[in-house]
Structure 1
Amino acid sequence: MACSSAWRAPRLSPVLPASKFSVRSNDRNRPKEKDMMFAFAARAPLAAGFALALGAIPAMADPSPAAIGYAQTILVDIGMKPAVDLILPSMLTQLERDVVQTRPELKDAVRAALDTIQPEFVVQEKALILQAATDLANKMSEQEIKDTAAFYESPTGKKFIQAQAATAIEVNGLVGPWRQRLSTDLLDRLREELKKKGLSF
């Protein structure tokens, strides 16, 4: 399947390589992924703050399997794992669509080939989640991470996650207009202050 060799997975770089088989982020046919990623994005301040706080904490002894299990529960509750779970199926679907669009006669072969190779990448995803959970568990004592998981699993914790997500959306709605005003107000105030000193630009 020579045509598929041009496809590349998105990389974490400022510029993505141009390719007719690259995964498009604006695909309208992926509402489930968009909804999940939006929901996770709304909780991103929680997850990011969590990650930043942990990044400043010295690593502890190797975490126990129980501690890693608690960490995995946390990753599910704050939306990290559900968001990651959507990446592989979405990319497989997009890759199949892109290849078949160019080579429709390969439709059945492409579907069969993707079904064959998918388990390889499922293993990679599981390893990634396990590593993330291990890293998290490595930053806290087993009791601390157990208590954290218990909080997120509790009615209060679940309500907090929902409230935090809703608040993040509301704050984003406030920040946009404020940012627009800020660009003008800062310039006006700078000119006012410089004018007091007989300066202008």
Structure 2
Amino acid sequence: MNTVSRILSAAGLVLGLALAGMPATAQTPSEVKPASPAAIAAAKEILAMKNASAMYANAVPNIVQRTKDSLLQSNLNYQKDLNEVAVIVAQKLAGREKEIGDGMAKLYAGEFTEQELKDLVAFYKSPLGQKLLTTEPKAIQMSMGYMNQWAQGFAEVVNGEFRAEMRKRGKEI
């Protein structure tokens, strides 16, 4: 059941990004379509309204921590040094997560025209757009909860079917 939870968590992240209007497919920098500064600015405004920075706000400290943990596995005798170096590295690289937001804005600006982005900004400033911005995260969270609940129930059905088919073969599992 743990595997099902991990799969659903990953699926949930993808669904959440898709529902939040994020690109579902990764693009390499060479695939990003060029966009005007005004389009990029409008995309940044949309991302700010959607509070997209919350998704990557802890990217730098999390990556520093993961790197430190990885290095500790094969260098236990350097634990004190690695803990001290992690603080230095985190401070040195603080703020670099903003690169993610800049990249996301360029991706948006490459997928929408400047006018479409301006129309989206206007929409998100409208009463319906404001309602979407405030209620969509809750709707996504509730949807994810429903998906997890459904998957758990369905996994039990699948398990029952496996057991029934194996019983037909004279094998109890």
Is the shorter-chain TM-score for this pair beyond 0.5, marking a shared fold? yes
The equivalent residue for 1:87 is 59
The equivalent residue for 2:103 is 131
The number of aligned residues is 145
Shift of 1:139: 1.2
d(CA) in 2 for partners of 1:111 and 1:88?
Answer: 11
Query: In 2 relative to 1, CA 168–95 (structure 1 residues): closer, same or farther, beyond 3 Å?
Result: same
The partner residue of 1:118 within 84, 93, 99 is 93
Query: In 2 relative to 1, CA 176–157 (structure 1 residues): closer, same or farther, beyond 3 Å?
Result: same
How large is the Cα RMSD of the aligned pairs? 4.3
The equivalent residue for 1:140 is 112
The equivalent residue for 2:80 is 103
The equivalent residue for 1:175 is 147
The partner residue of 1:200 within 165, 168, 171 is 168
AA aligned opposite 1:103:
K
d(CA) in 2 for partners of 1:54 and 1:113?
Answer: 27
The higher relative CO (CA closer than 8 Å, separation ≥ 6) is in 2
Shift of 1:89: 4.6
Shift of 1:81: 2.1
The partner residue of 1:158 within 127, 130, 138 is 130
TM-score normalised by the chain length of structure 1: 0.52
AA aligned opposite 1:140:
F
Identity of aligned residues (%): 22
Shift of 1:103: 2.7
AA aligned opposite 1:82:
A
The equivalent residue for 1:44 is 17
Contact 1:72 1:133 in 2 (8 A): yes
TM-score normalised by the chain length of structure 2: 0.58
Shift of 1:112: 6.1
Contact 1:74 1:148 in 2 (8 A): yes
Contact 1:43 1:164 in 2 (8 A): no
Deviations 1:67-87 (A, max 9, x none): 100111122222322322332
Which residues of structure 2 form unaligned runs of 5+? 1-12, 73-77
Which residues of structure 1 form unaligned runs of 5+? 1-39
